[in-house]
């Protein structure tokens, strides 16, 4: 193994969130409906994914504290502020 000066950690809620639920949270917070096009599963798609936080828990004592709903709300607030021009605020 090659020595390195960094570690990589997954940070998240340690449980899957359904994609359509995640999209609905973003739609709600931005006040717009996403243009969705449903296609068959594509090569390389995975049926379920989430951040496995065991390494962060072990090494850093990390425990998730922010529910997905609150995290999406905070993100969309930042996004609106950062991209004011997209929302007629700039």
Q: Return d(Cα 26, Cα 23) in angstroms, integer.
A: 5
Between CA 33 and CA 23 the distance in angstroms is 9
90 pLDDT more than 80: no
pLDDT tens digits for range 34-60: 999 999 999 999 888 888 999 999 999
State how far the Cα of 16 lies from the Cα of 50, in Å rounded to an integer: 5
pLDDT above 80: residue 3: no
Note the pLDDT tens digit of each residue in 8-39.
999 999 889 999 999 999 999 999 999 999 99
Residue the block writes with tokens 């828990």 = 57
Rounded to 10 deg, the angle between the 68-82 and 19-30 helix axes is 50
Say if residues 66 and 19 touch (Cβ distance below 8 Å): no
Mean pLDDT of the chain: 91
């Amino acid at each position: 193994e090659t020595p390195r000066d960094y570690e990589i950690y997954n940070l998240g809620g340690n449980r899957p969130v359904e994609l359509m639920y995640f999209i609905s949270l973003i739609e709600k917070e931005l006040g717009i409906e996403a243009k969705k096009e449903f296609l068959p599963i594509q090569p390389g798609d995975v049926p379920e994914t989430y951040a496995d936080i065991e390494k962060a828990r072990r090494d850093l004592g990390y425990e998730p504290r922010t529910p997905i709903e609150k995290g999406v709300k905070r993100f969309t607030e930042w996004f609106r502020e950062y991209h004011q021009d997209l929302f007629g605020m700039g």
